[in-house]
Amino acid sequence: MIDFAGISAFEELPEALKAAERQTRKAIADLGDKFKPSTSVNDFYPPSENDEWTNGMWTGEINIMYELTGKDEFKSKALEHVESFAERIEKRISIKNHDMGFLYSPSCVAAYMLYGSEKGRDAAIAAADYLISRFQEKGQFIQAWGPIGSRDNYRLIIDCLMNIPLLFWASETTGDEKYRRVALAHFNTSIECVLRPDDSTYHTYYFDPDTGKPLYGVTHQGNRNDSAWSRGQAWGIYGSALAYRYTRSDKALDVFNRTLDFFLEHLPASIIPYWDFDFTDGSDEPRDSSALAVAICGMLEMSDLLDRPGLRKKAEKLLGVLYRECAVKDPAISDGQLLHGVYCRKSPTNDARDRGVDECNTWGDYFYVEALKRVVTPGWKAYW
Ligand code: GLY
């Protein structure tokens, strides 16, 4: 376990906020009306279409910047993006997966919350409708990838815990309980399967398509089927915190405590996690800064919900380390926010390929600025 007493307070917050605003403005100038793709190339984002699972988090970064600064340049850019997201769901452009929350919560739900955009609300509800269409009665889970019902992809993945808040929100905003029912069923199934006795997590879990019986866990982006992929563990932390916000259930609280304890206990002494918890101090494997950013947001959410100042203090200290080690301080080296992320890393036994290794990525940037906002504004109402 890292020694929190030995980590200094995040006294650089004012510089961090200034740098973050400058980086968002720089990326807007570099990208024009295009989007950040999932990852940078040599720490710069090539201008890209709105066709990946990550695009909503670029819009989310801009929304956070609007909230932090009140500047209209961010609001108008974010509203421009809403048009693109509305078209994307209407025309079904690259949406055949479970990633509707990642796409529509920080973009369109946020636009409705911040600017009263009805177009954003409608698009987010349409995305929630699509998400529940991926629910499998046999097994009681939302199928993550592939054609709905396909036998070779009859599985859930831990990342989806970040997509179900869209369903909780959809029930709240429409008054129709059908979304919440799916969210609860998926959450309960997920935690029964992905959480291991030692509090680490599986990335994906297969079910029998004929009977719905849970079968076995398999990794896609982790090092081994039985290892703990750092970002998957972080999705578990933040996903369970958000489930707790919407349900106040003891189960969600228990999952949060267990996934967080494992994460903190397995951080290297140098704090920024390696891409999989199989690796620790002394390893040459790359780090995944985005995993820490996600986990910090989960800690800050839960510290608000449970009124736990001790948890907030730990999260703020970790954010200080993330700023010192990974935040971009010189715009000449990058138009992202957070260096040293990993999208996928090939291992001898996983089926991933090296992708976005030691690069910025859109979600790392987003969760880093969300964490900054949460530190500035305790009790902040998340887009999730
Ligand atoms: N949700 C996909 C990832 O974390 O890479």
Tally of domains in the chain? 1
Residue 74 lies in a domain: yes
Residue 381 lies in a domain: no
Residue 199 lies in a domain: yes
Range(s) of the domain holding residue 141:
4-376
Per-residue model confidence (pLDDT) at position 8? 97
**DSSP code per residue over 244-278:** HHHH--HHHHHHHHHHHHHHHHT--TT-SPBSBTT
The residues, ordered by sequence, that sit 6+ positions from 85 with a Cβ below 8 Å of its Cβ are 50, 55, 56, 59, 103, 104, 107, 108, 120, 123
Residues with CB under 6 A from ligand 1: 159, 221, 231, 343
Residue 209 lies in a domain: yes
CATH number where 55 lies: 1.50.10.10
Query: Is 330 annotated as catalytic?
Result: no
Residue 63 lies in a domain: yes
CA of 366 to the centre of ligand 1 (A): 13
Kindly give the number of the ligand 1 atom that is closest to the alpha carbon of 232. 4
* Among the listed residues 41, 75, 78, the one whose alpha carbon sits nearest the alpha carbon of residue 58: 78
Residue 383 lies in a domain: no
Which residues is 39 bridged to in the sheet?
361
Strand ranges in 128-241 using DSSP code E only, listed in sequence order? 135-136, 141-142, 155-157, 204-207, 214-218
Q: Which residue has the tokens 């309960």?
A: 188
* CA 197/CA 178 separation, integer angstroms: 32
Residue 382 lies in a domain: no
Per the CB < 8 A criterion, the answer to whether 274 and 288 are in contact is: yes
CA of 221 to the centre of ligand 1 (A): 8
Q: Which of 99, 199, 288, 358 is catalytic?
A: 99
Residue 36 lies in a domain: yes
pTM above 0.85, yes or no: yes
CA of 329 to the centre of ligand 1 (A): 26
Instruction: Tell me the pLDDT tens digit for each residue of 298-340.
Output: 999 999 999 999 999 999 999 999 999 999 999 999 999 999 9
What residue owns the CA closest to ligand 1's atom 2? 159
* Among the listed residues 146, 144, 254, 132, the one whose alpha carbon sits nearest the alpha carbon of residue 183: 132
Per the CB < 8 A criterion, the answer to whether 135 and 142 are in contact is: yes
Per the CB < 8 A criterion, the answer to whether 336 and 365 are in contact is: yes
Instruction: Tell me the pLDDT tens digit for each residue of 29-75.
Output: 999 999 999 999 999 999 999 999 999 999 999 999 999 999 999 99
